[in-house]
Structure 1
Amino acid sequence: MKIDERIKKELESESEQLDKILAQEPGLFNQVTSIFKGSLKGWVIMVNIAVMIFTVLMFWSGYEFFMASSTDDRIFWGVIALAAIKGQVSLKEWLFSEMRRNSLMREIKRLELSIEHLEQKIET
């Protein structure tokens, strides 16, 4: 068997294994709900409440910005809207980093189990 054929065969088998692993991964909604079950459950709830508050503030200040008649009012409401957007984005980024952390911990646990399984195979 030529080296090119062997490499192609190995890549195909690795691709199949990767497809199986990715099929086991939870979807986005399952990942979102999983962060409510972790040790930071209280923080996640508090951050989601804050995201809702920033969202309401963002839309309200955006409305006031477009309805303002003077330049000073537009500047005021524009700054408030930008601050609300920044706060909302920052908090959502924290939530997504929490989801990534959970996913990473799941992968580390998988690797630990694989290593333990390989150690048992070597010992026997």
Structure 2
Amino acid sequence: MKTAIQLGNMRFYAFHGVNEQENRVGNNYTVQLTVKASLKQAMLTDDISDTLNYAELYETVRKEMEIPSRLLEHVAGRIILSIQNRFPEIKGGKLTVTKEKPPISGDVESASVVIKW
């Protein structure tokens, strides 16, 4: 059995970007996270100590989103490293970090970095 936990549409206002204006004004971001972990014991026991704590997983993402970076790739890499350090039981996952209305010419709703590990 393959099991995972997903936190979807986590919303943040952060200051990531190459342009000075992005660093000063900020932008809206969304983060999608799916992590692979065994949930078998929690399925049997109904005990929170047998699963990943969703709130702690969210806090790990939130703390990294608060640190300004020039590149979304860097933000995503930091999030993954923090998750791996905090939750060694996670066996991989998928992370999407999305910047809404990126400052590029053209009609572009968002720009995202997607990493599977």
- TM-score, scaled relative to structure 1: 0.28
* More contact order relative to length (CA 8 Å, sep ≥ 6): 2
Instruction: Decide which structure has the larger Cα Rg and report it.
Output: 1
* Greater fraction strand: 2
TM-score, L = length of structure 2: 0.29
